[in-house]
Amino acid sequence: MHTTRLQLIEGCLLGCAVGDAIGLPYEGMSTRRARRFARLPLEQRFLLGYGMVSDDTDHSVFVAQAMLRGGGDVEKFRACLAWRFRLWFLCLPAGIGLATLRGILRLWLGMRRSGVFSAGNGPSMRSAIIGATWSHDTKRRRAHVHASTLLTHTDPKAFVGALAVAEVAAQLVAGLWKQKPDVETFMALLASVSADTSWQKVVDGMRAACTSPDPMGFALKQFGTRQGISGYVLHSVPFALLAWYHHFGDYRATIETITQAGGDVDTVAAIAGALAGATSGTDGIPQTWLKHLTDWPHSTGYMRELATGLAACDSPQPNSPEQEPPAVNTRFSPWLFPRGILFTTVVLLHGLRRLLPPY
């Protein structure tokens, strides 16, 4: 079945959101406890059988809005995204990472260099949609990932992880990986992202996992701990990429593998979910998961509108004139403030539930 560019970009955005929502109830659990809680097959269960999204999806939506506002201009993109982060902070978001928190505070203080030295996975959770949007424009793709990263994180590892995710998404939406690439093709792309020694060691570890009899078991030992997959970018990004690659085209299996690992489940599932959605399009996402994703104002309907706008941003013909994206509402929604109160309340209730068995 032929899948259009729009369907793949839509799959990327919604795949991120659904992975985020499915993983959210298991966030921060150890591997052992996550496997006791996350009984397969999974369904939405954050709020009375429905799912809500966390900062991972919010950031991807903000990036999408900023790309539409920027129209390919990186400085406009950066300024627009910076203001969304500032306003989002006023909504008292639950679970905001320390580096992102410090970066946004520095933005409010008017600092041009707002990012802090951290190798967290914040930039990686919002970079797949950049790769999907600028799938045919390497220069713009990398410039947007770089600008997005430096707003909150300055450790080069954070940029490398975010770029790796964006590059894979670009291959998928450009139609270059309609079938599962062989291991060496996959590793060659990842190795090309950075010559940094630590990243090359990660690529070597991923290659070893791909050729292991138990790829995801190997990956969990290589990049995880007893507490699961951490938010360190050189742990979470490789694990997300391996889950996507191992289960290529199987969205459900990708996300369920990640929930069983524990740790920073929602972010790892959001990253892998975005790539899995960009592989098969929205139709590849379990429809019950999508149907029971109920959130506002970043609803599934709104994300579909954003995808329509983003699909017109990049042209596969390098010399063709710029296309004017269709009009899409890209304003920051004030409804995020009352929504944030509800979300935080539910998070606290989940925290109380974890005081009870199974341990």
Contact 300, 68 (CB under 8 A): no
| pLDDT of the residue at 102 | 97
Q: List, in sequence order, every residue forming a beta bridge with 120; answer none if it has no partner.
A: 232
Per-residue pLDDT of 151-161, as tens digits, reads 999 999 999 99
Q: Is the peptide bond before 41 cis (omega within 30 degrees of 0)?
A: yes
CATH superfamily of 5-314+325-353: ADP-ribosylation/Crystallin J1 (1.10.4080.10)
> For residue 155, which amino acid is it?
D
Query: What is the overall mean pLDDT for the chain?
Result: 95
Confidence (pLDDT) at 319: 46
* Average pLDDT for 120-126: 98
Rg (CA), the chain: 19
Q: In this structure, what token pair is assigned to residue 358?
A: 């199974």
Alpha-helical runs (H) found in 211-292:
215-223, 233-246, 251-261, 265-280, 287-291
Burial 209-239 (b: 16+ CB within 10 A, else e): bbeeeebbebbbebbbeebbbbbbbbbbbbb
Peptide bond into 358 cis (omega under 30): yes
Domain ranges of the chain: 5-314+325-353
Q: What value does the mean pLDDT take over residues 282-311? A: 97
Percent of the chain with pLDDT over 90: 93
Can you say how many angstroms the Cα of residue 250 is from the centroid of all Cα atoms in its chain?
17
Per residue in 306-346, pLDDT (tens digit) is: 999 999 987 555 444 455 556 899 999 999 999 999 999 99
Q: pLDDT at residue 104 above 70?
A: yes
Residue 57 has pLDDT above 50, yes or no: yes
Eight-class DSSP state of 93: -
Q: List C-alpha distances in Å: 289 to 41, 278, 292.
A: 11, 16, 5
